[in-house]
Amino acid sequence: MFRDGLLKGKRILVTGGGTGLGKEMAEDYLRLGAEVYICGRRKNVLDDTARELMDKHGGSVKTHSVDIRVAAAVDEMIAEIWADGGPLTGLVNNAAGNFISPTKDLSPRGFDAIAGIVFHGSFYVTLACGKRWIEDKVPASVISILTTWVWNGSPFTVPSAMSKAGLNIMTKSLAAEWGEYGIRLNAIAPGPFPTKGAWERLSPGESVEGDTSREGIPMGRVGRMDELKNLATFLMADGCEYLTGQTIAIDGAMHLASGGNFSRLSKLSEAEWAGMREMIRSANEKDKAQRSI
């Protein structure tokens, strides 16, 4: 869809870029000539991804292990990136945390775990970049990965829905506040694009490859990664600078037809929820064992 070298001269940070959607977007940015930075909590996962992508496409992918819930650590990482090769020109707020749970069963720490990553963390990264862009007079593009629930909410993923709705408003607010500096902010609201991290926590027990739940999606299929990557590249490339403050759904019209959220889970029994919780906990434990911070 895009010409080679489209993103030459761009320097882009993708949070949560070691896996899932983040890795996919990082790969396309690299392939199209950008210098790429990825961050996350698992250094070994980030380093494996960086090596894999550079082996495939050449170029430069640098890794930073950081928990974006820690504002000082975020600022330190952004300072290091600026010192490494000059200002970033793009940021993708992709890192997220989520799991399905009846809201009545959430502890305050459970809420904070998700809000800390999605709501606070994405703001910390946006702020650390934004203040430097303004100071350096560098135009830039920010993309936040949201969900269509920012418009209609989602039962059983309330901390995520609340946090992503906050980022939706951050996108609009800062588009207006930072437009004069040439900084634009847009967001992508993907429908179902199966990835391991999301599926383990949102559809436990269903394999990413084997998932056949197409019900409620007018186009009759889940998203193709290339479709998401093309949108993420379009929003990052030069040529649409007047486009800002927008959240674009890419979901085969799922939210328009059937809500696109987890309301169907109201059918689950307490015993089924207990089983789900166990599966999610075991996925969390496996990920945690790999964390370097």
Distance, in Å, from the CA atom of 118 to the CA atom of 201, rounded to the nearest integer, reads 15
Span from 77-85, 134-142, 178-186, 194-202 in contact with ligand HXC (CB under 6 A): 194-202
Q: Which amino acid is at 77?
A: M
Phi, psi of 84 (to 5 degrees): -70, -35
Length of the chain: 293
- Does 107 interact with ligand HXC (rule: CB under 6 A)? yes
Choice between 63 and 160, CB closer to ligand HXC: 160
Choice between 7 and 91, CB closer to ligand HXC: 91
Strands (E), 33-105: 35-40, 61-65, 90-93
Choice between 81 and 198, CB closer to ligand HXC: 198
For residue 236, which of 159, 136, 139 has the smallest C-alpha distance? Answer: 139
By rule CB under 6 A, what string of x and - marks binding of each residue 233-272 to ligand HXC? ----------------------------------------
Distance, in Å, from the CA atom of 276 to the CA atom of 133, rounded to the nearest integer, reads 44
Span from 52-60, 120-128, 197-205, 213-221 in contact with ligand HXC (CB under 6 A): 197-205
Rounded (to 5) percent helix, strand, coil in the chain: 50, 15, 35
- Does 201 interact with ligand HXC (rule: CB under 6 A)? yes
- Does 212 interact with ligand HXC (rule: CB under 6 A)? no
For residue 236, which of 7, 23, 16, 61 has the smallest C-alpha distance? Answer: 7
- Does 286 interact with ligand HXC (rule: CB under 6 A)? no
- Does 163 interact with ligand HXC (rule: CB under 6 A)? no
Choice between 20 and 90, CB closer to ligand HXC: 20
- Per the CB < 8 A criterion, the answer to whether 232 and 193 are in contact is no
For residue 39, which of 8, 9, 81 has the smallest C-alpha distance? Answer: 81
Span from 46-54, 93-101, 179-187, 230-238 in contact with ligand HXC (CB under 6 A): 93-101
Measured CA distances, 127 to 178, 184, 204 (Å) = 11, 13, 34
For residue 140, which of 207, 176, 91, 192 has the smallest C-alpha distance? Answer: 91
Choice between 65 and 160, CB closer to ligand HXC: 160
Phi, psi of 106 (to 5 degrees): -80, 140
Span from 75-83, 107-115, 121-129, 173-181 in contact with ligand HXC (CB under 6 A): 107-115
- Does 98 interact with ligand HXC (rule: CB under 6 A)? yes
The only residue of 7, 32, 92, 96 in contact with ligand HXC, by rule CB under 6 A: 96
By rule CB under 6 A, what string of x and - marks binding of each residue 1-30 to ligand HXC? ------------------------------
Q: Which amino acid is at 97?
A: G
- Does 90 interact with ligand HXC (rule: CB under 6 A)? no
Choice between 34 and 170, CB closer to ligand HXC: 170
> Distance between alpha carbon 9 and the CA centroid of its chain, in Å?
23
Interface residues toward ligand HXC, by CB under 6 A: 96-99, 101, 105-107, 109-110, 113-114, 147, 160, 197-198, 201, 277, 280-281, 284, 288
